[in-house]
Amino acid sequence: MERPVSLGGTDREIIEQLVKGGVERRKSEERLFTRFSYFIREGMRQHGLPEEDIFSAYSDTILTAIDQILSSNFEGRSSLKTYLYQIFHHKCVDLIRKKTSNKNSVNRSETLSDSLQRLSDAAKSVLQQLIEKADWNLLRERMTRLDDKCRQMLLLWGDNYSDREIAAALSYKSPDVVKTSRVRCMEKLRRMYYPT
């Protein structure tokens, strides 16, 4: 059986603070997020994905790692950097696979598009309005299930407020905290659409 590696001081501190919870946990989450944020640049260079996709993969990596640490699934067999990089790399590969498989499904959307082309302009307009109304109603209903802070943040983000503006409006410590929190809120919303 593999022995856990001796974690460095910073790794150990981050893990201890995460487990403590409260303010210490939030500080530790921020610290963890910023400590390895250079993965984003490296991921863009290595995988050739857009910054938005890589940022999403990185944020998801941090959230996954935090969940693993809090549920005692991180056994310390590697440094946090190695552990996070493995998760991050897999998430990037998953994104590449997803993009590749989405390219293969283009024919289905073309068939729908062809069908819409055969409709008169008036029918297209009515159909589009019905689809948009159904989408908005569904989104509105699901947004009401989020906590107030998540809902406010997503609404401000949807209105094109910057992370810095959202941080000021909702009393977050920094724009980076807003980004991490927004990813969490989006994940909650995503699970409402696509429960696992």
Q: Give 5's pLDDT tier (boundaries 50, 70, 90).
A: very low
| Structural tokens at position 25 | 């946990």
Greatest Cα pair distance in the chain: 69
Domain residue ranges of the chain, discontinuous segments joined by +:
9-101, 120-193
pLDDT of residue 126: 60
Contact 170, 153 (CB under 8 A): yes
Cβ neighbours of residue 31 under 8 Å, at least 6 residues apart?
Answer: 14, 17
Share of the chain above pLDDT 90, in %: 5
pLDDT of 133 strictly over 70: no
Nearest to 116 by CA among 131, 99, 101: 131
CA–CA distance, 52 with 185 (Å, rounded to integer): 16
Domain 9-101 is in which class? Answer: mainly alpha
SS3 148: helix
Distances (CA, A) of 87 to 65, 106, 138, 173, 182: 8, 29, 32, 27, 20
Q: Which tens digit of pLDDT belongs to each residue from 135-157?
A: 677 777 888 888 899 889 888 88
Q: Which tens digit of pLDDT belongs to each residue from 57-99?
A: 888 888 888 888 888 888 888 888 899 899 998 888 888 888 7
pLDDT of residue 195: 66
CA–CA distance, 111 with 89 (Å, rounded to integer): 35
Q: What is the CA radius of gyration of the chain?
A: 21
Determine the number of helices (DSSP H) and then strands (DSSP E) in the chain. 10, 0
Buried b (16+ CB within 10 A) or exposed e, 112-129: eeeeeeeeeeeeeeeeee
